[in-house]
Amino acid sequence: MAHRGNAAEFPENTLPAFSSALDLGVRFVEFDVQLSKDGVPVVIHDHLLARTTGLPGSVFDHEAAELSRMEAAETQRFGERYRGVRIPLLRDALTVLKGHPEITLFVELKRASLRQFGHDHVVSQVLEVIKPWRTQCVLISFDLVAIHKARALAESPIGWVLGEYDEHTRLKCEALQPQFLFCDHSKLPTAARLWQGPWRWCIYEVASLPLALELAARGADYVETMAVRELSAALRDLSAGQ
């Protein structure tokens, strides 16, 4: 799964990052959604603009039309290489699905927007935009209330991103019965098999083949990475060797 697209080689959460991931053969892409001042879903991880755009302020200070003109070139990482790459609106990001019925997008609802606008508004706005593509989209979040609402309103698959991997969280998972569970590999106990249930596990911040294979042996269904080219090539080489 491509974490914010091919974010190792392109500015994260941008159309070039998504297109590159698909060109590399990835079938699963995760990205983040915040709401603009006028309540339009835009694809960006932080609500603060500084890290990816170099601009002051917050997504919440600007209407969608303004945000869509802002460069998200990540000049701290890439210098001037991606000048002209802009913050995509969610509706524009979804166009990567055209002609790709095999692709699934995991759309993460960010907690900053949920606090700013309320769960009902954020979930309903995002569901409205993804409606034409709903069979290819899964809403995910750290926020339990948000994914409960997404399930109730859309009756579609949901994913919970775990803040902790402990017994209390396990009980919540068994009650929720989500289709997907996401967890940072660094939060997992060493060597233990992942909890079994009706869900599929996606473990993120994975950048190496040995770690991916270890996690697969422990029950992971997917690994999520920004290093899409490197990890995809390693998996292809392994498959060819077999």
Both tokens of residue 14?
Answer: 């941008």
Q: Does 47 participate in catalysis according to the annotation?
A: no
Q: What angle do CA 129, 143, 167 make, to 5 degrees?
A: 145
CA–CA distance, 226 with 208 (Å, rounded to integer) = 11
Strand extents, DSSP E, 124-195: 137-141, 158-161, 180-184
Q: Which of 45, 47, 119, 185 is catalytic?
A: 45
Measured CA to CA in angstroms, residue 209 lies from 145, 147, 193, 213 at distances of 35, 31, 18, 6
* Residue 68, number of CB atoms within 10 A of its CB: 16
The reply to whether 168 belongs to the active site is: no
- Enumerate the active-site residues: 3, 45
